[in-house]
Each structure stands twice: as C-alpha cells, then as structure tokens.
Amino acid sequence: MSAEAYAPGRVELLGNHTDYNEGVVLGAAIDRGLNVTGERREDGLIVVHSAVMGRLEIPRTQLRPQQEHCWANYALGVASELSSLAIPIEGFDVTIEGNLPLGCGLSSSAAVAVATAFFLLKLYERDLAPLQIAKLCQRAEHRFAGVQSGLLDQVCSIFGRADHAVFFDARSERVEIVPFPRGLSLVIAESRHKRELASGLYNERRKETRAAAAQLGVPALRDVSDATLKKSNLSPHLLRRARHIVGENERVSNALELLAHGDGMGFGALMNESHESSRTNFENSTRELDLLVNIARGLPGVLGARLTGGGFGGATVTLCETERAGQIAEQLRRQYASSAACMPRIFVCKIADGAH
C-alpha cells in the first residue's frame, strides 16, 4: 500500500516566541512546502530518503533519535509518537521532497513532521483530530530533535487557509482563521545565515522567559502587562526578554483589530515594531536579518518588515503592495547581494491552504 501527503511551510507574521509563553500569535501557511510519498515495507525497516539530505535506513525495532542523520528525526519522531498511540506503525519507505527552503525560518522541520503524520495516518488508515496531529508533531520535535518549540508552526501548517492568517491562542488552544487584506503580498528573503535551533539559543530563550515568569510569580509571561514590568525587580537581562514577549502579545491583539478593518498600513507598522524588539530586547536577530529589514523598509510599496520564526539567522518577511512585489523582491536581492557579498534566495509568496 502506498500514500502521499503534503504540508506547507509557514510564515510567522507577529507573535515572536510567544507560543511557548502561553501567548497569542499570528502566522500563515505559504505556497511552498514538502511532499512525502512512500509505501509500507514488510521487512521491518524504516527508510527515509531526501535528495537534499541523504538516506537513512534503520530497523523498526531501533526507532530512536539519530545523531548522524539528525535531519530524519522529525519523521522518525512522528512514527514513534504514532506508535505510542497504539497505531501499529511497522516498516515503511518514504521520500521527502519539495520547494521549501531548509533551515531558514519557514518551519521546514514542522512541514516534515506534519507531512509525515498525514502520510502515516493515510498509510495505516487511521484518523486523528487536526489539533491532536499538531501536538503529536510538536512532541516529536521535543523528544527526537531536542527543540522545545511552541505549537505555532504545526498549527499554521495544518490549519492554514488561502488568503487568511491563522490566529493561535497557545493557552486556550483556540485557532481562528482571519481574512488578510487584499492587494498585499509577502516577500520572503532568506539571509543565507543558517539556523540551528537545537544548538541551544532557542532553548536558552525559553529558559530565560520561564525564569522571568517565575520571578514575577505568574504561570507564564502571558499574564504580565507592561505596567507590571515597569514595577518589577527583574534583572536588566530578563527584563528585556520579558518586554519582548509582553509587547508581542499586545501587538498581536492590536493586529486583530487592524485586520478586521483591512488596515495593512497599521499591520506593517506593528511588524516594524516587532523586529526592533527582536533586535534589542530578545537579541534573536542578526546583522544579516537587520540588513534585509533595513533595505526593505527603504523600498517604495513596502509597509513593514521583520524577521520571521525563531531568529538567530534564517529569513525575513516583508509586507508590500502586490503590484510592486516582484520589483521589491528584485531590488532587495540586488542590494543585499551588494552589501552582504552573497546572493539571497528571495521569493514572493501567497498565503496558502494547509496540509492535505
């Protein structure tokens, strides 16, 4: 028996690092993603192929995180999590391919996990609720890849809808599909500065925000206001981390009002504010990301720009007028290549449907 599944990447629009702080976030699925195709095997082997990353073959009985082929851990982790739900995952052969750039902040890891989950559920003729699949993929990333990610990436990849943003409340787990203003496009620019979240910076920020919440006596920074921070005794270091999370939650709440009125200009201004906070408070931007953002903001037709995803390298997202999107992408590519001495991958993307 064979099966096929597809999962898109996602772009984080606002709400940087808020999801694991029980906050709110806005993202969207994009029109670039990963296909997973394959079939059952009767010999008890799990074989994972990728034209980009290579090939891994292990016995089903040795299903555990891999050190040498860590790229495969997202798919292997999903198989392990499904097995823990008494779904009889045995041997299978799977090929991963697509047009989603790897390691640049567009959540290729979540796309691998989500597509693998949809593939295996179809292959073994089982069904799970969408949010249950998202949580399963998150657990796979935690346990097999070592990244303590929030749930935004998986939620956007699964719940995405064309021309709509995805609002996610990480505390209540409410998902809402929000219409995006017409006449606007997103330009994704990859800095060519690779990210390696499992190396520690992502997990370090998670520890810092938890420490700030603990010192403030609250379950999570979701429960903190800017006024509370001004009266707190947090160290300057933790205060900056907390200000970023608190500010991002406020920006997402404000963005919902702006989107309801089709206010793209106001939304772009919030994106600009978000990047400045990432740069100064959360320190998860880089010289390359700042350069892309600064170039984009100086181009006619651009409403706002910011880093997207975990940061520490990766990509930026620029909100712009659709009629100028192609020109903006080309100017951004040319100016960045001239200043950074490398050619970035830049593309105009559409907000797309989720996994299937």
Tokens of 108: 């290729």
8 Å CB contact between 290 and 279: yes
Alpha-carbon gap, residue 251 to 130, rounded angstroms: 27
8 Å CB contact between 332 and 296: yes
Q: Which DSSP string corresponds to 200-235?
A: THHHHHHHHHHHHHHHHTSSSGGG--HHHHHT----
Q: What share of the chain is helix, strand, coil (3-state, %, to 5)?
A: 45, 25, 30
Question: Active-site residue numbers?
Answer: 153
- The letter for the amino acid at 293 is V
Q: What is the pLDDT of residue 250?
A: 98
Q: Which of 275, 256, 251 is nearest to 180 (CA)?
A: 256
Question: Domains of the chain by range and CATH?
Answer: 2-177 (3.30.230.10), 181-349 (3.30.70.890)
Q: What is the pLDDT of residue 200?
A: 82
pLDDT in tens, 41-98: 999 999 999 999 999 999 999 999 998 899 999 999 999 999 999 999 999 999 999 9
Tokens of 306: 């910011």
Q: What is the pLDDT of residue 107?
A: 87
Q: Read off the pTM.
A: 0.92
Residues of the chain where predicted confidence (pLDDT) is lower than 50: 198
Q: What is the pLDDT of residue 196?
A: 56
Residue 6: C-alpha distances to residues 44, 82, 90, 161, 316 (Å)? 25, 18, 21, 14, 24
Q: What is the pLDDT of residue 198?
A: 46
